[in-house]
Amino acid sequence: MPTVTGMTFDAASQVLARTGFRASEPRSAYTDVDLPEDVAAWKVCFQDPRPAEQVQTPQYQTAYLSLTAPATACPPNPNTALRPDTGGTTAGNDEADGPAHDAGTTGGGTTGGTTGGGGVYYANCAAARAAHAAPIRSGDPGYRAALDRDGDGVACDR
């Protein structure tokens, strides 16, 4: 996988197309910033697959590129809010990914399995995708084993 971080989305997409990737999907690098329709000039902060990661069949894969506006600095880590004091929001539900539960309250118990911590919870993969957080790797905020269907340490990767 070539390194495309620091490039514009347009330039990165061209590099990845030449490498054989089926598609490049833009996502916001910040959980509280929505992407505009035209992201060609937005800067790539994070990429998945990661730089130098071995990709056997790029023609069947989508490269996920996390972006910021041209004048906005990249966050230090994925799944970060630009304005963390805005309060929590609950992402939507997608029945295809299973039933959603209220993310606003907890019953005081634990969810079981490994989580990334950080107080981020996605009811299902559709909610993680809507927040531009998918795929979620083990150790990242919002990761939990229930979202990782194949147990490879990467949730919502399909």
Q: What is the pLDDT of residues 81-111, one digit of tens each?
A: 988 764 444 444 443 444 443 333 334 444 4
User: pLDDT digit string (tens) for 103-152?
Assistant: 333 344 444 444 444 567 777 888 888 888 889 887 788 888 888 888 88
CB atoms within 10 A of CB 24: 20
Instruction: Name the pTM for this structure.
Output: 0.54
Neighbour-count burial of 125, counting CB atoms closer than 10 A to its CB (0-12 exposed, 13-18 middle, 19+ buried)? buried
Position 47 scores a pLDDT of 93
Query: Could you report the per-residue pLDDT of 37-82, keeping only the tens digit for each?
Result: 999 999 999 999 888 888 888 888 899 999 999 999 999 988 889 8
